[in-house]
Amino acid sequence: MSKLHNTKGFTLIELLIVIAIIGILAAIALPAYMDYARKARLTEVANAIGSVKTACTAVASESSTGTAACVAADAAAPFANVKAAVGIDVPTKYISAIGVAVANGTGAAITATIQNIGSELNTQTLVLTSDADLKTWTWSGSVPAKYLPKN
């Protein structure tokens, strides 16, 4: 009489198949996660630019000189000059430089230079430009189009 053995567990082939499936999923998920992380960090840059925009709009509306009240920030002390011009602190974790440029009668441009986000985005710029009335704002810059914020 032969005895039937009740074997439990997985075979080596089954384990190798599971490891291969996990490897394939990781190969797909990791680049998507890294892209998501870059977009999240870039959102912090966009929020900082948005704060400068709000402050610049407020200063311009309260000033008799309009948009000229938002003075340009020079490269030597960009954060101090933005604080002096519009009265806000800009976080420096992902922004290496920020400037507010105003052209009489044509509106304003707020430019931030990116740092610490990823090799693809470091040293790139994110720019928010306005019309002459500071009512319509548009995103542009040297960042790839997939990273530009939506209006």
Task: Centre a 10 Å sphere on the Cβ of residue 143 and count the other Cβ atoms it contains.
Answer: 21
Question: Has residue 134 got a pLDDT over 80?
Answer: no
* 48-70 residue pLDDT tens: 888 888 887 777 677 655 555 56
Give the whole-angstrom CA distance, residue 47 versus residue 130: 16
Secondary structure class of 101 (helix, strand, coil): strand
* 27-40 residue pLDDT tens: 998 888 888 888 88
Check: CB of residue 75 under 8 Å from CB of residue 99.
Answer: yes
Rounded to a whole number of angstroms, the distance between the first and last alpha carbons of the chain is: 79
Q: Report domain extents, the chain.
A: 12-147
Domain 12-147 belongs in CATH node 3.40.50.620: no
pLDDT of residue 148: 87
Across the chain, mean pLDDT equals 79
Give the whole-angstrom CA distance, residue 103 versus residue 38: 32
Query: CA quadruple 131, 137, 140, 141: dihedral positive or negative?
Result: positive
Task: Label residue 103 by pLDDT band (50, 70, 90).
Answer: low
